[in-house]
Structure 1
Amino acid sequence: MIKIILHSNKLIDSIIYLILFITAVTVLYPVYWIIIGSLNPGDSLFSTKLVPDHLTFEHFRYLFKETDYLTWYKNTLKVAFFNMIISTFLVVSAAYAFSRFRFPGRRYGLMTMLVLQMFPGFMGMIAIYILLLQMGLLDNLWGLILVYAGGSIPFGAWLVKGYFDGFPKGLEEAAKLDGANHIQIFYKIMLPLSTPILVFIAISNFIGPWMDFIFARLILRSDSNKTLAIGLYEMVTGRGNSQFTTFAAGAVLVAIPITILFLISQRYMVDGLKAGANKG
């Protein structure tokens, strides 16, 4: 009986390891293909080899010397960074107000944010286009930033509100007895205890604009305001994959800021989880 149980456990472990191996290969194969494609000589997708005869950095040089890749990169970094700052502030402020204050329209406001999450963002593209046109923010990076920041509030506020609701109100009552006002409570008590959710919201608000194509394509028109998604798309569209390796080089560089952001924020996220575990 014991042998049967041990054999069964080994079989289950083998199946689990097999599933994990298949999952790892499925995830890493496209990454390897893009990286090795950026280092392959030639321009065509069909000339790309999984194990090339020799590697070259010519495609990276071409990006920086012959295209406006640096301009696209700066524009995307600007949009993603300022959206991260503005949207995180708006999300956290709205979540704190809905979580800790009682005011007329609070329930309807929460229901409105919940309903808005059920509709895809591109349903309001025409309205957003007309609104930005009337405000003079069409083909403007700040117009794109405002669209992203406003669109992140419903989901983010609901998420952070649920996190704030888990804090005991005794913390705020004790702070009020010490003479603290709502602003001091918000910045000195709520925010330090909310590091994990703040890091998650900030990273999400950075990645969204960094990878988005639809809204950027709608709002931005001039070459000087193009983002990475638009520039790389136009590099390969209608050209029969004749610049695939250059596109792959650009895609590799796109992943660098996100990777660095995750590596930097991981430590703060772990520290925040430890602090949250000990706060009770």
Structure 2
Amino acid sequence: MSRRGKGNAGLFLSYVILILLCLAAIYPALWIVMSSLKAGNSLYSDTLIPRAFTVEHYRNLFTKTDYPLWFMNTLKIAVFSTMFGTFLTLLTSYAISRYRFKGRKQGLTAVLVLQMFPSFMAMIAIYIFLLQLNLLNNHWALILVYSAGSIIPNVWVAKGFYDSIPRSLDEAARIDGAGHWTIFFKIMMPLTKPMITYVGLMIFNGAWVDFLFAQLILRTEEQRTLAVGLWSMVNQRNSTEFTLFAAGAVLVAIPVTILFIWLQRYLIQGLTAGASKG
């Protein structure tokens, strides 16, 4: 086989793999959407497209469950976590990128190593810590943990973004008498929109869909988030509200999907710029 023939075969195989991966990702999502529109309460169906469509499950979410309350709880936690977590991540990354201090390399290495361990390994320690602070069953406990925990997975990407910004901007501002905070807020922050978008979306998405930690901390019905509330609907042994659960899962995905589509341009810029230098 010629070199050109091998290249075409490799390209064809790549497209086949990509198509299979797309189908593997799209089919479960499509199945949930179709199940949420199906009459009855069973997820089992011999066809992907329901024989009878209904929006009754979506109506029942807002009339027969606490879904609106769960939605507002989750929105509150996600928004505040995004605000605080993004600020802490950018401030930490800026300091690491622009300043040289003792323990800087060791700290970066430690952050890189910590990313290799699953976050749930620290759940018991965090639980005991929050218990001592009397923060159990409190939304601010989740906001505190999500905000602080966002630094570890995002600091390397944000640092790479700051490394790509010329240091001459900092030096010119210092010559004009600007201090550290002035440089950060008035010069760096306006240039950091792509990275703010990327970090903010990652934090928002993580807080929006988190289940394990929210289930550990939140105890009462009025404090539940969407993930915990939907899980409680189908956790009981006699529960058959699977199509109702599917409708809730569809509505959970809509806000994040809209955000990703709306901010896609900034998201790609943040990823590419943050990966350009390390």
**TM-score, normalized by the shorter chain, greater than 0.5:** yes
Structure 2: gaps (5+ residues)? none
Q: 1:119 to 1:67 in 2, by over 3 A?
A: same
Query: What residue in structure 1 maps to residue 95 of structure 2?
Result: 97
What is the identity percentage for the equivalent residue pairs of Structure 1 and Structure 2? 51
| Larger CA deviation: 4-13 vs 247-256 | 4-13
Alpha-carbon displacement from aligned partner over 1:91-147 (angstroms, at most 9, x marks no partner): 111111122123344344334433433332222222211211121211000111101
Could you tell me how far apart the structure 2 residues matched to 1:51 and 1:241 are? Answer: 24
2:17 to 13, 16, 19: 19
1:83–1:148 Cα contact (<8 Å) kept = yes
1:183 partner amino acid = W
The Cα shift of 1:256 comes to 0.7
1:95–1:160 Cα contact (<8 Å) kept = yes
Query: What residue in structure 2 maps to residue 71 of structure 1?
Result: 69
| Larger CA deviation: 31-40 vs 265-274 | 265-274
Could you tell me how far apart the structure 2 residues matched to 1:41 and 1:222 are? Answer: 31
Query: What residue in structure 1 maps to residue 155 of structure 2?
Result: 157
1:43–1:246 Cα contact (<8 Å) kept = yes
Structure 1: gaps (5+ residues)? none
Local SS of the residue matching 1:67: coil
2:50 to 37, 49, 52: 52
1:243 to 228, 241, 251: 241
1:80 to 71, 78, 88: 78
The Cα shift of 1:47 comes to 4.5
Q: 1:5 to 1:100 in 2, by over 3 A?
A: closer
Could you tell me how far apart the structure 2 residues matched to 1:124 and 1:166 are? Answer: 33
Alpha-carbon displacement from aligned partner over 1:196-218 (angstroms, at most 9, x marks no partner): 22211110000011111111011
1:75–1:225 Cα contact (<8 Å) kept = yes
Could you tell me how far apart the structure 1 residues matched to 2:46 and 2:233 are? Answer: 17
Q: 1:269 to 1:119 in 2, by over 3 A?
A: closer
Q: What are the equivalent positions in structure 2 for 1:74-223 lying under 5 Å apart?
A: 74-223=72-221
Could you tell me how far apart the structure 2 residues matched to 1:116 and 1:101 are? Answer: 22
Could you tell me how far apart the structure 1 residues matched to 2:123 and 2:161 are? Answer: 31
2:243 partner amino acid = T
| Larger CA deviation: 203-212 vs 16-25 | 16-25
1:84–1:205 Cα contact (<8 Å) kept = yes
1:84–1:202 Cα contact (<8 Å) kept = yes
| Larger CA deviation: 143-152 vs 110-119 | 110-119
Q: 1:253 to 1:165 in 2, by over 3 A?
A: same
The Cα shift of 1:15 comes to 3.3
2:157–2:271 Cα contact (<8 Å) kept = no
Query: What residue in structure 1 maps to residue 27 of structure 2?
Result: 29
Could you tell me how far apart the structure 1 residues matched to 2:234 and 2:195 are? Answer: 38
The Cα shift of 1:12 comes to 4.5
1:69 partner amino acid = Y
C-alpha RMSD of the superposition: 2.5
Count residues with an aligned counterpart: 274
2:193–2:266 Cα contact (<8 Å) kept = yes
| Larger CA deviation: 132-141 vs 120-129 | 120-129
Could you tell me how far apart the structure 1 residues matched to 2:45 and 2:21 are? Answer: 27
2:197–2:270 Cα contact (<8 Å) kept = no
Could you tell me how far apart the structure 1 residues matched to 2:232 and 2:86 are? Answer: 31
Local SS of the residue matching 1:46: coil
2:137–2:217 Cα contact (<8 Å) kept = yes
The Cα shift of 1:57 comes to 0.4
